[in-house]
Amino acid sequence: MSDIALADILAIAAHRDDVEQTCGGTLLKMAERGYRTAILDLTRGEMGTRGTVEDRAREADEAARILKAGWRQALDIPDGRVENTYENRLKVARVIRQLRPRVLILPYWQARHPDHATASVVGYEATFLAGLAKLDLGAPPHRPFKIIYASLYADVRPTFVVDISAQFEMRFASLMAYRSQYQDQSAGSGLFPRQAEIRERLAAMAGYYGLLAGVQYAEPFAQKEVGLVEDLLAVPVQSI
């Protein structure tokens, strides 16, 4: 992907295809509204059961194209060993300073896969480092205004959801761009559901969160801070 200097929204995830699963529809919707979006994958997927690093790199570029992301890169943090080290935080902080996003999307801080949970902590602490004026990282200090957490796979009630009804099919297409991972095949068949079942699962989950807000499909997010409302007559989602 192109080396743009700035992004309005940066999504960080542990692995190539994580963003497509958890917030791909939202990224596409924001890109369609004219915002500059970017994706940072912390690892290159070398420990995956299916495919190779080269496969995943090509597929990640294709998925980013489908989601209309202007920038995507992967760091060299070992797959299966995403650790909250100072070195890893600095790697992420450099990207934050380079892209200067206003909004940062991180994985939810609790997850079955240790890489996902650790990626959340690394992203948050890297954001703090990115704002330190005396820390020389080759670019001016910067911290995003808002950090939100993609909570699709977390057993929590979301703070808010984003209507992705119009983006659902392209979101699914972005995930299916990872043919080495999700194309029906014998390798890893005991771990991976078949392609038709994947779509059914995605539709069920997006449909559930859409139901909470009265739309067809939605993606859920959480934030740690309290929200602020200026106009009670402009608050969306009908109560009764």
Q: How many domains does the chain have?
A: 1
CATH number of the domain to which 200 belongs: 3.40.50.10320
Query: Per the domain annotation, does 239 fall within a domain?
Result: no
Question: Confidence band (pLDDT; 50, 70, 90) for 189?
Answer: low
Give the pTM.
Answer: 0.93
pLDDT single digits (tens) 63-93? 999 999 999 999 999 999 999 999 999 999 9
User: If pLDDT is split at 50, 70 and 90, which confidence band does 46 have?
Assistant: confident
**What is the CA 16 to chain-centroid distance, rounded?**
10
pLDDT band with cut points at 50, 70 and 90 for residue 3: low
User: What percentage of the chain reaches a pLDDT higher than 70?
Assistant: 94
Residue 127 counted as domain residue: yes
Q: Is 4 domain-assigned?
A: no
- How much is the pLDDT for 124? 98
The answer to whether residue 176 sits within a structural domain is yes
Q: Is residue 63 part of a domain?
A: yes
Strands 160-163 and 146-150 turn out to be unpaired
pLDDT of amino acid 184: 63
74: β partners? 41
Contact 219, 25 (CB under 8 A): yes
pLDDT band at 186 (very low <50, low <70, confident <90, very high): low
pLDDT at 140: 97
- What confidence score (pLDDT) does residue 195 get? 76
Q: Reduced to 3 states, what is the DSSP secondary structure of residue 194? A: coil
Neighbours of 23 (CB within 10 A): 31
> Largest alpha-carbon pair distance within the chain?
55
Examine the pLDDT at 1 and tell me if it is beyond 60. no
In a domain, 86, yes or no: yes
In what order do the strands lie in the sheet containing 37-41?
71-74, 37-41, 9-13, 103-107, 146-150, 218-222, 160-163
pLDDT at 237 over 90: yes
240 belongs to a structural domain: no
Q: Tell me whether residue 1 is in a domain.
A: no
Domain span at residue 98? 9-234
The predicted model gives 133-146 an average pLDDT of: 97
